[in-house]
Amino acid sequence: MMAAVKACNILITGANRGLGLEIVKQLLEDSSQKRHIFATCRDPDGPKSEALRELAKKHPSVITIIRLDADDPSSVKESAKKVGSLLGKSGLNLLVNNAAIALTGSIQTSSVEDMKNTFNTNVIGPLLVIKEYLPYLQAAAKASGIPGMSCNKAAVINISTLWGSMTRMPSVYTQFPVLPYCVSKAGFNMLTVLAAEEFKADEILCMALHPGWVKTDMGGEKAPLESKDSVEGMLRVIGSLTEKHHGGFLDYTGETMPW
């Protein structure tokens, strides 16, 4: 299935495995679009990035691997400098904040370190990524000359989860005690809503997307969805976004999720 995403310059965090890597793969399958993918990961030379390195070797003109550790503000800054020097005047059209960690625990078992680590990666990391890449998103929005909002113009897609939902999570919390993760993703959802407010005037689309429960290292073996199906759905949704979806929360099928 072809991705409907027509964005030219795309950046993805956590692109070395799981859903991030699958997004890169499916964007590559769609050769009808001329694009450049900045596939970022925290350890480009490490063993966990081998699959991404293989892909980049096969498609050197389409993929650039960039080091970006969401947990390390200076690496986020460095990455933005590097990407900025490679981007033309057309700027960055699509930023996908995908990297995250999921630590388990309850109020009684979650340590301060667990909470800090999860917040650093899942909330502060994406905030800094958005902040550092904002000038390139603004450049893309300006360069497009098209009114309105779309991922082909300038967009921030935050890969969130229904587990960040105030109304949905309580019913499954006893079964899945993942308090640090849920609290951080609720914060991430708020970040999405406030970023949407802040970037309205720039016409940079910003929304949260739930991938479904997917078989990855994070989702585990019991998950009902394959990465391929989740990402096909997410790319279809991303490709169809307009200003109507700005500040919203959808899942991979396009259904509206509760906050």
| Residue 131 CA neighbour count, 13 Å, CB half | 13
State which of residues 12, 19, 94, 196 lies at the interface with ligand NDP (CB under 6 A). 19
45: tokens are 């030379």
Nearest to 163 by CA among 143, 180, 151: 180
Minimum separation from the CB atom of position 57 to ligand NDP (A): 19
Query: Quick check: 167 and 189 in contact, CB under 8 A?
Result: no
CA distances from 77 to 67, 124, 140 (A): 10, 13, 19
Query: Quick check: 4 and 32 in contact, CB under 8 A?
Result: no
Please identify, among the stretches 18-26, 30-38, 165-173, 192-200, the one whose residues bind ligand NDP according to the rule CB under 6 A: 18-26
CB atoms within 10 A of CB 61: 6
By residue count, the chain amounts to 259
State which of residues 7, 11, 55, 69 lies at the interface with ligand NDP (CB under 6 A). 69
Minimum separation from the CB atom of position 171 to ligand NDP (A): 16
CB atoms within 10 A of CB 92: 29
Minimum separation from the CB atom of position 49 to ligand NDP (A): 7
**Does the protein bind ligand NDP through residue 42 (CB under 6 A)?**
yes
Query: Quick check: 238 and 209 in contact, CB under 8 A?
Result: yes
Nearer to ligand NDP, 4 or 223 (CB): 223
Please identify, among the stretches 63-71, 85-93, 144-152, 195-203, the one whose residues bind ligand NDP according to the rule CB under 6 A: 63-71
Site for ligand NDP in 86-145 (CB under 6 A): 98-101, 121
By Cβ distance, which residue is nearest to ligand NDP?
18
CA distance linking residue 80 with residue 13, whole number of Å: 12
Pairing mode, strands 205-210 and 155-159: parallel
Minimum separation from the CB atom of position 208 to ligand NDP (A): 10
Nearer to ligand NDP, 141 or 234 (CB): 234
Minimum separation from the CB atom of position 121 to ligand NDP (A): 4
Nearest to 19 by CA among 209, 259, 214, 243: 214
CA distance linking residue 230 with residue 243, whole number of Å: 23
Helix (H, G, I), strand (E, B) or coil at 77: helix
Nearer to ligand NDP, 30 or 213 (CB): 213
**Does the protein bind ligand NDP through residue 187 (CB under 6 A)?**
no
Minimum separation from the CB atom of position 188 to ligand NDP (A): 8
Please identify, among the stretches 37-45, 85-93, 142-150, 250-258, the one whose residues bind ligand NDP according to the rule CB under 6 A: 37-45
Footprint of ligand NDP on this chain (CB under 6 A)? 13-14, 16-20, 41-43, 48, 69-71, 98-101, 121, 159, 161, 210-211, 213-214, 216-219, 223
